[in-house]
Amino acid sequence: MAKKKFKAESKRLLDMMINSIYTHKEIFLRELISNASDAIDKLYYHSLTENLSGLNRDDFAIRLEVDKEARTLKISDNGCGMTQEDLENNLGVIAQSGSFQFKRENNKQEDIDIIGQFGVGFYSAFMVSDEVTVISRAYGADKAFEWKSSGADGYTIEEADKASHGTDIILKIKENTEDENYDEYLEGYRLQGIVKKYSDYIRYPIKMDMERSRMKGEPKEGEQPEYETYIENVTLNSMVPLWKKNKSEVSEEDYNQFYKDKFYDYENPAKVIHSSTEGASTYNALLFIPAHAPYNYYSKEYEKGLQLYASGVLIMDKCADLLPDHFSFVRGLVDSQDLSLNISREMLQHDRQLKLIESRLEKKIKSELLSMLKNDREKYEAFFKSFGLQLKYGVYTAYGANKELLQDLLLFYSSSEKKMTTLEEYVGRMKEGQKYIYYACAETTDRADRLPQTELLKDQGYEILYLTDDIDEFALKMMRDFSEKEFRSVSDKDLGLENKEESEEIKKKNEESAELFRFMKDALGDKVADVRLSERLKSHPVCLSSGGGLSLEMEKVLNSMPN
Ligand code: ADP
Ligand code: MG
């Protein structure tokens, strides 16, 4: 039989494909299963629109079959199948996608979720195979055909036997080389793992015979139990993604279990956010706010990101562009049908789409956190203990650009409430005529409470925020004010309290004692910038105060930073 030649460019394209498009060889299985799922989708779609009888949704399945001796892996489906012409057009012409055409012709119906679009995925089979055989029978056709190729040198098509409609793809798996292991693609557990990773949410069952072992009868007393192996036909994928279910169908326990399994946490999440959007970009998102920070959260090792699915198929495990840094603690996934993927389906073509989703998720996460703050204060405070630092960094690093977004989520310790307070609550309690939001920095709230500078303010009934994290004051400086009230350190020269009469008197006294102060200043040398009489001391004889915009604490932090 005459071999038909690929066109010269196609040959190069195939080489390129096989060797450079994909980062991981294992994705060949994802591609072939996606094709099988597409083929079933198409037939199912026809069965609905053309009222085909004898087709039952429950009979549709994808099967994997391994023959270790022959070194073959077979992927079968009972979908629409291909005619001789289809085989020529879709598998003989690289970058020809029957699925893309199908989508175009049937302009995207409801219950169809076709994955293919580039017409290259199929050839990824050559990354792991010496030879690929496709035996296919189109639905309604009485003949089946076999397409066979061992790569760049071309393909053959001939008539074949196949009892019913659908397609079998038979891969002759390569021999191991020094640096590549191919045997693994003949191991049931490895295949199961790959299916779980990429194709868990394919809507049809993916079935495979797995070898299991069980105890052979009851062991006699004092004897070791005997084991026997048996074959079980198992469905490898869970099929319906939790996030595509209606919220009312999913229990809290389901969400929690899903989170713990998928993101390897031992504790239930503090909050589950399940949302779907239609419109400019349609997606389902299932997000979790962990109850505690992972051990490496505040280190460089921590990698933020959400899983990204396109129509239920995993595209990226940690898509960083979906999460702003200040919410980097959020775990979860996004599934969308209208992502424009690049050809390897490992990335997106435009990050515009991601940006859009990111900004929507950002709003959503914020509103969920706010509602936690309002409705479950205790939980929110626990959350803030874990991740508050990240929110404050968020305010600081964006040079205040995130002020609007984050300011209502911040908590600080309050001198008068003796617990954490929001800025809004603080402002609500401000005294009449109070100009500023006061804060004091110290290592602990106790120490802040004992500072000479806080004494007078407290005495006069002012509330003070006690800042204990290094980042706190930097964040407040970036924000400048809240609700039009400026932040002011208790060690600042101007606390906006001085009444005129007292000030005059202090000024006079300062002048009278000028000589004494000069003497003290000389004695202290360059340890101080100035010595003055203060009006804000009560029981303490002396206090340090800072002149410029920086508080003493801030100066300390800056001095301790490596240059
Ligand atoms: P894509 O899936 O992006 O269209 P592929 O290279 O994976 O590209 O597949 C090319 C085409 O071959 C598909 O569009 C489809 O028309 C056809 N095809 C591949 N596998 C099957 C299958 N199992 N059943 C029916 N048609 C298939
Ligand atoms: Mg495909």
> Which two tokens mark 271?
């909050």
pLDDT number for residue 516: 76
pLDDT-wise least confident of 2-11, 304-313, 357-366, 439-448: 2-11
Is 92 annotated to bind a ligand? Reply is no
Dihedral over Cα of 172, 175, 177, 180: its sign = positive
Q: How far apart are CA 419 and CA 525, in angstroms?
A: 41
Q: Where are the strands (E) in 400-521, listed by range? A: 412-414, 420-421, 436-441, 464-467, 481-482, 485-489
Q: Does 62 score more than 80 pLDDT?
A: yes
pLDDT band at 545 (very low <50, low <70, confident <90, very high): low
Q: How far is the CA of 55 from the centre of ligand 1 (A)?
A: 21
- H/E run at residue 517: helix 514-524
R_g of the chain computed on alpha carbons: 34
Q: What percent of the chain has pLDDT over 70?
A: 87
CB 448 within 8 A of CB 472: no
Total H helices, total E strands in the chain: 17, 19
Question: In the Cβ-directed half-sphere of 2, how many Cα atoms lie within 13 Å?
Answer: 3
pLDDT in tens, 194-249: 999 999 989 899 999 998 999 888 888 888 888 999 999 999 998 888 998 888 88
Is 490 annotated to bind a ligand? Reply is no
Residue to probe by mutation, ligand 1, list 30, 31, 35, 340, most atoms within 8 Å of CB: 35
Beta bridge partners of 124: none
> Which two tokens mark 62?
């994808």
Ligand 1: atom nearest CA of 169 is 23
CA distances from 60 to 34, 36, 76, 204 (A): 14, 10, 11, 7
CB 308 within 8 A of CB 281: no
CB atoms within 10 A of CB 469: 15
Q: How far apart are CA 345 and CA 51, in angstroms?
A: 34
pLDDT-wise least confident of 183-192, 365-374, 489-498: 489-498
Residue to probe by mutation, ligand 1, list 14, 104, 122, most atoms within 8 Å of CB: 122
Residue reference for tokens 């061992």: 150
Q: Is the CB of 97 under 6 A from ligand 1?
A: yes
Q: What is the DSSP string of 188-207?
A: HHHHHHHHHHHHTT-SS-EE
Q: How far apart are CA 281 and CA 359, in angstroms?
A: 12
Beta bridge partners of 313: 310
pLDDT number for residue 223: 85
Q: Does 316 score more than 90 pLDDT?
A: no
> Which two tokens mark 550?
């920086």
**What is the DSSP secondary structure assignment for residue 249, as one 8-state letter?**
G
pLDDT-wise least confident of 292-306, 473-487, 529-543: 529-543
Ligand 1: atom nearest CA of 35 is 20
pLDDT in tens, 407-423: 999 999 999 999 999 99
Ligand 1: atom nearest CA of 94 is 6
Q: What is the DSSP string of 306-372?
A: EEEEETTEEEEEEEGGGS-GGGTT-EEEEEES---B-TTSSSBS-HHHHHHHHHHHHHHHHHHHHHH
CB 334 within 8 A of CB 306: yes
Alpha carbon of residue 24 to chain centroid: 20
Q: Where are the strands (E) in 337-482, listed by range? A: 412-414, 420-421, 436-441, 464-467, 481-482
Q: How far apart are CA 205 and CA 495, in angstroms?
A: 70
Residue 287 burial class via C-beta count within 10 angstroms: exposed 0-12, middle 13-18, buried 19 and up: buried
Q: Does 186 score more than 50 pLDDT?
A: yes
Q: How far apart are CA 176 and CA 556, in angstroms?
A: 61
Report the range out of 159-168, 299-308, 398-407 with the highest average pLDDT.
159-168
Three state DSSP letters for 259-272 = HHHHHCCCCCCCEE
Residue to probe by mutation, ligand 1, list 37, 74, 88, 97, most atoms within 8 Å of CB: 97
Residue reference for tokens 């840094």: 325
The torsion angles phi and psi of 437, rounded to 5 degrees, stand at -95, 115
pLDDT band at 61 (very low <50, low <70, confident <90, very high): very high
CB 390 within 8 A of CB 474: no
Is 176 annotated to bind a ligand? Reply is no
Alpha carbon of residue 51 to chain centroid: 42
pLDDT number for residue 9: 62
Question: Measuring from atom 2 of ligand 1, which residue has the nearest CA?
Answer: 116
The torsion angles phi and psi of 308, rounded to 5 degrees, stand at -115, 125
Q: Does 188 score more than 70 pLDDT?
A: yes
pLDDT band at 261 (very low <50, low <70, confident <90, very high): confident
Is 119 annotated to bind a ligand? Reply is yes
pTM for the full predicted model? 0.73
Is 82 annotated to bind a ligand? Reply is yes
Q: How far apart are CA 340 and CA 350, in angstroms?
A: 7
pLDDT in tens, 457-491: 898 899 999 999 989 999 999 999 999 999 999 98
* Side chain identity at residue 332, one-letter code: G
Q: How far is the CA of 116 from the centre of ligand 1 (A)?
A: 7
pLDDT number for residue 563: 44
Dihedral over Cα of 154, 158, 161, 163: its sign = positive
Q: Average pLDDT, stretch 45-59?
A: 82
Ligand 1: atom nearest CA of 115 is 2
pLDDT number for residue 483: 94
Ligand 1: atom nearest CA of 99 is 14
Q: Does 176 score more than 60 pLDDT?
A: yes
pLDDT number for residue 528: 74
> Which two tokens mark 14?
């195939």
Q: How far is the CA of 279 from the centre of ligand 1 (A)?
A: 29
Q: Does 546 score more than 70 pLDDT?
A: no
pLDDT number for residue 278: 72
Q: How far apart are CA 149 and CA 147, in angstroms?
A: 7
Q: How far apart are CA 103 and CA 109, in angstroms?
A: 8
Q: How far is the CA of 340 from the centre of ligand 2 (A)?
A: 15
Ligand nearest to the Cα of 343, by number: 1
The environment of the single-atom ion ligand 2, i.e. residues with CB closer than 5 A, is 35, 116, 121
| Residue of 487, 512, 351 whose CA lies nearest to 423 | 487
- CA dihedral of 183, 189, 192, 193, whole degrees rounded to 10: -90
Complex ipTM more than 0.95, yes or no: yes
> Which two tokens mark 539?
């029981």
pLDDT in tens, 378-416: 999 999 999 999 999 999 987 778 899 999 999 999 999
Is 121 annotated to bind a ligand? Reply is yes
pLDDT in tens, 422-447: 999 999 999 998 999 999 999 999 99
CB 167 within 8 A of CB 77: yes
Q: How far is the CA of 411 from the centre of ligand 2 (A)?
A: 50
* Side chain identity at residue 136, one-letter code: S
Is 256 annotated to bind a ligand? Reply is no
Q: How far is the CA of 553 from the centre of ligand 2 (A)?
A: 60
Q: Is the CB of 135 under 6 A from ligand 1?
A: no
Q: Where are the strands (E) in 28-89, listed by range? A: 62-67, 72-77
Q: What is the mean pLDDT of the chain?
A: 87
More confident residue, 405 or 514: 405
What residues contact 134, with CB distance under 8 A and at least 6 apart?
Answer: 82, 87, 91, 146, 147, 148, 167, 168, 169, 170
pLDDT in tens, 318-354: 999 999 999 999 999 999 877 777 666 666 666 778 8
pLDDT number for residue 277: 80
pLDDT in tens, 101-116: 777 777 655 556 677 7
Q: What percent of the chain has pLDDT over 90?
A: 53
Q: How far apart are CA 279 and CA 285, in angstroms?
A: 14
